[in-house]
Amino acid sequence: MNNYIHIQMFTKDIDHCYILCNPEKEPDRANYLLDWFHSKGIPSTAYTFSSDCYGTDPLFQTSSIWNFYNPWSKLYGRRVANITSHNLKPAEISLLMNFACIAKKAVDAGYSTVMILESDVLFHEDCLERLDIAMSQVPSDWDFLSISASLDMKPKRAREDVGKLWFPPYHSYFHTRCADSMIFRVSILKKMLKTFLPFAEALDWELNFQLTLHHAKSYWLDPPVMYQGSLNGDYKTTL
């Protein structure tokens, strides 16, 4: 990899950033992200806006959608975790499909570690500095990292954990706080690609299932360095 790009990325530990955003359909979100990257001196070669399909595309009017989405799937001992899993909206389905496309791109590119952001992510002012420090302290056995405030869920701190930045999730099944800001080992994405289709749940719930299925080691960053704009009223949700 080009060393200049690597150094100028969010942190030296992340090879590339993929953004689940369609700039034509979501110009306000794309412009915020582009302005932020530019203000931090991050080159355009370090990130990719990736939207291979959108909820209004013709695909969602055809029977072929069932090749990708099966809310009644019993594959791999799946259990339905989300009460809305039988009623995913086109926007939710397209988000899952775009995630699968990003995972394949990361694997095909030969990356080791990638960041994946949803379009409504917002950055804390000192995000880069805090994330760089956090990545230097992350446990070596990690597969998945949650770095956003998301639903404002906080990991429980034992007395001996005071001062630590990284915590395991509340429960072994709940890897994600939400899916707006995540870091993956590409090795775990490669495993997930073998079982991701057909998906059954909304993205954050599907990731919980997939990461559990493949015995991923997950950690949450606290305090987080990003937050989800649509949960805080900065954006109206598109789902």
pLDDT at 234: 55
pLDDT for 107-129, tens place per residue? 999 999 999 999 989 998 889 89
pLDDT band at 68 (very low <50, low <70, confident <90, very high): confident
CA distances from 45 to 5, 12, 38, 211 (A): 7, 15, 12, 29
- How many whole angstroms separate alpha carbon 49 and alpha carbon 94? 15
Is pLDDT above 70 for 231? no
Residues 226 and 127: beta-carbon distance below 8 Å:
yes
pLDDT band at 12 (very low <50, low <70, confident <90, very high): confident
Residues 120 and 230: beta-carbon distance below 8 Å:
yes
pLDDT band at 4 (very low <50, low <70, confident <90, very high): very low
Residues 90 and 55: beta-carbon distance below 8 Å:
yes
pLDDT at 28: 92
Q: Which domains does the chain have, with CATH numbers?
A: 3-228 (3.90.550)
Is pLDDT above 50 for 8? no
Percentage above 90 pLDDT, the chain: 49
pLDDT at 23: 92
User: What is the model's pTM?
Assistant: 0.87
pLDDT at 19: 95
pLDDT at 173: 81
Task: Give me Rg for the CA atoms of the chain.
Answer: 17
First to last CA, the chain: 36
